[in-house]
Amino acid sequence: MSDLTSAAREEGARLLQAGDLEGAVLQLQQAVRENPADARAFGLLGIASARHGDHATSVAALQEAARLLPEDAGSSYNLAVALFQAGRLPEARVAAQRTLALNPEHTNAPVLLERIDAQQPSEFILAAPETPPAGFPTLDGATEANPGWAPLSGAEAPAPEGMAAPSTGLSYEDLPPPEAEGTPPGLGLRLLRGWLWGILYGQWWTVWFVGWGIVWGSIPLDPRGLLFVVVLAVVFGLAGSVAGIVMGAVNADDTRGALIGIVASMLLFALELAISRSPTMLVNIFFWFFTGRFVGSGLVGKVQQPVRS
């Protein structure tokens, strides 16, 4: 393991503990790029991504951690929680069952299995793996840069030899309580939300486009200009609704929602180029990219908003 990788992983752990999720994700992504065999870094990346709301990255990272530590019940349990949060219930059930096969005394896995069967989100813990990967540095005690070793919440397993288990532990809530979160929306509700909220969120494009048009004098302040604004509102509302329906159909997470918004925005940019036939319009690609990401991120949050009982 290189010093760079170790430093990136420990800095990621420190930022994660401090609540800087974006910084933690960046550091841990660097760590796994430098050392693809670092199971600890993959596990921490999965935790950070889950807390950041990026369920796809969280699942992928924890799958890799579980692959690198096939006999570690903690890695299997963390993967089960991430899959459950991502709505992949059959796979979550398999991972939770494997956790119990590896550690029949695991206290959280049976509760998770019950929630999976009931399809009701609850509060679970993503914790550090029960056994460290080979070469993981030993500590005399927890430090700010490396918070030490934490067994699974509720488990009696001791810390690995040479590793100090801090009093607070390195554990993070993955799923909010049901009264705060609710249940994931079904396909029909996601499609309906995508259609209706998409029309509304598409008007952000209208606002920005018209605002810049007035500033630069390309939209006249007369009846023709008003008609043009109405046409824009219809076109952008349609584009937003299509993007929202796609998000609902594919059950998009935050990352894919932003990507869908960017794709929709780039298509609108291509339409603008085709109509204007002016190479100078190429500079607008930055405008379309950032507005698309904004619209996509906001819209997917409305599409995926949990249903409270």
Please report whether residue 253 resides in a domain: yes
Q: Using one digit for the tens of pLDDT, what is the confidence trace for 15-28? A: 888 888 888 899 89
- Residue 69's CATH number: 1.25.40.10
Please report whether residue 231 resides in a domain: yes
- Report how many domains make up the chain: 2
The domain boundary, picked from 149, 181, 213, lies at 181
The alpha carbon torsion through 245, 248, 253, 256 (nearest 10 deg) reads -30
Please report whether residue 22 resides in a domain: yes
**Average pLDDT of the chain?**
76
The alpha carbon torsion through 210, 233, 225, 289 (nearest 10 deg) reads 30
Cβ 45 vs Cβ 55: under 8 Å: no
Please report whether residue 227 resides in a domain: yes
Residues 177 and 207 in one domain: no
Number of Cβ within 10 Å of residue 224's Cβ equals 10
Instruction: Please compute the mean of the pLDDT values over residues 238-259 and round it to a whole number.
Output: 92
Residues 275 and 159 in one domain: no
Distance of alpha carbon 276 from alpha carbon 295, whole angstroms: 24
Residues 177 and 238 in one domain: no
Please report whether residue 128 resides in a domain: yes
Residues 162 and 24 in one domain: yes
Distance of alpha carbon 198 from alpha carbon 169, whole angstroms: 43
Closest CA to 136 of 202, 214, 65: 65
Predicted local confidence at residue 267, as pLDDT: 92
Residues 58 and 165 in one domain: yes
Give 189's pLDDT tier (boundaries 50, 70, 90).
very high
Predicted local confidence at residue 145, as pLDDT: 37
| pLDDT over threshold 70, residue 143 | no
Give 157's pLDDT tier (boundaries 50, 70, 90).
very low
Residues 199 and 298 in one domain: yes
pTM confidence score: 0.44
| pLDDT over threshold 50, residue 153 | no
Residues 265 and 202 in one domain: yes
Predicted local confidence at residue 166, as pLDDT: 30
pLDDT above 70 as % of the chain: 76
Q: 């992949």: which residue's tokens? A: 88
| pLDDT over threshold 80, residue 148 | no
Q: Using one digit for the tens of pLDDT, what is the confidence trace for 82-118? A: 888 888 888 889 998 999 999 888 888 888 888 888 8
Lowest pLDDT segment from 71-80, 178-187, 204-213: 178-187
The domain boundary, picked from 135, 158, 181, lies at 181
**What's the domain range around 211?**
187-303
Distance of alpha carbon 80 from alpha carbon 114, whole angstroms: 13
Predicted local confidence at residue 127, as pLDDT: 55
Predicted local confidence at residue 263, as pLDDT: 94
Residues 266 and 149 in one domain: no
Q: Using one digit for the tens of pLDDT, what is the confidence trace for 114-132? A: 888 887 544 455 654 444 4
Instruction: Please compute the mean of the pLDDT values over residues 231-259 and round it to a whole number.
Output: 92
Residues 221 and 235 in one domain: yes
Give 146's pLDDT tier (boundaries 50, 70, 90).
very low
Residues 136 and 217 in one domain: no
Residue 56 is which amino acid?
A: A
Q: Using one digit for the tens of pLDDT, what is the confidence trace for 162-181? A: 333 332 223 333 333 333 34
Predicted local confidence at residue 275, as pLDDT: 84
Residues 246 and 171 in one domain: no
Residues 77 and 199 in one domain: no
The domain boundary, picked from 181, 208, 239, lies at 181
Please report whether residue 308 resides in a domain: no
| pLDDT over threshold 60, residue 276 | yes
Instruction: Please compute the mean of the pLDDT values over residues 239-244 and round it to a whole number.
Output: 94
Give 182's pLDDT tier (boundaries 50, 70, 90).
low
Give 242's pLDDT tier (boundaries 50, 70, 90).
very high
Please report whether residue 309 resides in a domain: no
